[in-house]
A and B are shown apart, each in its own frame.
Chain A
């Protein structure tokens, strides 16, 4: 099979998996919705923890937003892999004669979709609760959100695969993931802050580049490593 054909098949497989996950998510009982609500609740709670001085909250807003995205994201990527354990579907998936990286890619795409929805829902919540003006910063903000979500989905899909059959998986997923996520968090928060503040230091581009680099590296590493996780 030629290189181009192989890529096309992989993409087809990935797309089929992403579609399946998206359909399951959308039709699933309230699980996805609960996660969104939880993340919004986290933002509310930050207000109680750091308020009532709105100025302090406004300053901290980018960090708080991304923390809420991380917490919600952890639940999201875990859930996407949980789909597969309900009826032994993961075993079935592992037996198909398809490239492992295609499976990874498919699940990562589904994860990205869910993360984008999460971010999209949380932005207006942040705007309201912390007094942020979103509209002025729109394009850069969206870019930061997208790049950050790609990175989180890439890493999260990988680690969800790592922990899906493990005991103590609820704690192992964040335990393994969060140190790896640290630079993503850093860069995403900085980029968001720069976007919202009008980029006074001209650092926005650097942070976005770092995010893009992170995304690329993690996608490649995840795709390379995922196959080894499926064997028993």
Chain B
């Protein structure tokens, strides 16, 4: 079994803490297309960073890799210094991920969905945790309704509620404002504030650049799987210039 690899960049001052997120030339292929073509960046602990870019830029893929749902094809990604590919089970308790799909069970009620999630997240009192989370996202009145009847916005809220059940140090949000009305969007903003106050690192992939960049510390713009621009505080390129993806020794014709 490979050792846990603590991310070790070129020597850094011992006063600088391990970044919350550190990727090195992380690339991911789906069949013939490269969703990520070598992304290297570091995110400082406790910061909120926005990932911007058009559809297909690789934002979702990057988040999924950090959430341990995908293995990188090349390169490495570390969360709190732990390699997501080698020891995903150590990464999972630290990360909460809101994806496009809400991952809810249609035939269960909202409360049952959350109670299930709370049990799986090892909460000592799942029922209480679920009730509390429902209240936080404004769904206490709909707790006993089956998710089958929920609108897209309500499902999103419920999924947000699920995020609150764990104790993550890293929160990954994929288009959190999508499908939400003004009230729902305000809820998201409130949660973002809560997380920042609590020192949680937050990564948000979004189209709505203006809304998020108001709240975020820094941002990174992706295009076709590559980071083309960085800005603000909290997100940086790694200390050493990233090595390019090693090319094959001999020219190989594309198949």
Contacts and interface: CB of A to CB of B under 8 A. Distances in A.
B101 A87 contact: yes
Contacts of A93: 103, 120
A95 B119 contact: no
B71 interface: yes
A98 B118 CA distance: 12
A86 B101 CA distance: 9
B26 interface: no
Nearest to A86: B106
Contact of A16 (B93, B97, B103, B116): B116
A104 to B, nearest CB: 14
Nearest to B159: A92
Contacts of B121: 96-97
A20 B112 CA distance: 8
27 contacts: A9-B122, A13-B120, A16-B120, A20-B112, A23-B108, A23-B112, A87-B104, A87-B106, A88-B100, A88-B101, A89-B104, A91-B99, A91-B101, A93-B103, A93-B120, A94-B69, A95-B67, A95-B69, A95-B92, A95-B95, A95-B97, A96-B92, A96-B117, A96-B121, A98-B120, A98-B122, A232-B70
A232 B119 contact: no
Given A95-B67, A97-B93, A231-B88, 14 more contacts: A12-B119, A20-B105, A20-B116, A24-B107, A27-B146, A28-B107, A87-B106, A88-B102, A92-B99, A95-B68, A95-B95, A97-B89, A97-B92, A232-B71
Interface of B: 67-71, 88-89, 92-93, 95, 97, 99-108, 112, 116-117, 119-122, 146
A137 interface: no
Contacts of B71: 231-232
A84 to B, nearest CB: 9
A23 B71 CA distance: 33
B120 A96 contact: yes
A83 interface: yes
Provide the main secondary structure of the chain A interface: helix
Nearest 5 Cβ contacts at the A-B interface = A88-B101, A92-B103, A96-B120, A97-B93, A27-B107
Contact of A24 (B67, B92, B100, B108): B108
Contacts of B99: 88, 91-92
A89 B116 CA distance: 12
Interface in A95-132: 95-98
Interface string A136-174: 000000000000000000000000000000000000000
B79 to A, nearest CB: 13
Nearest to B28: A232
B20 to A, nearest CB: 18
Nearest to A232: B70
A28 B116 CA distance: 18
Contacts of B97: 95
Interface in A40-99: 83, 86-89, 91-98
Contacts of B67: 95
Contacts of B92: 95-97
A60 to B, nearest CB: 38
Contacts of B116: 16, 20
Nearest to B146: A27
Given A12-B119, A96-B121, A91 B108 contact: no
B58 to A, nearest CB: 15
B153 to A, nearest CB: 15
A46 to B, nearest CB: 33
A16 B101 contact: no
A71 to B, nearest CB: 25
A231 B112 CA distance: 26
A221 to B, nearest CB: 20
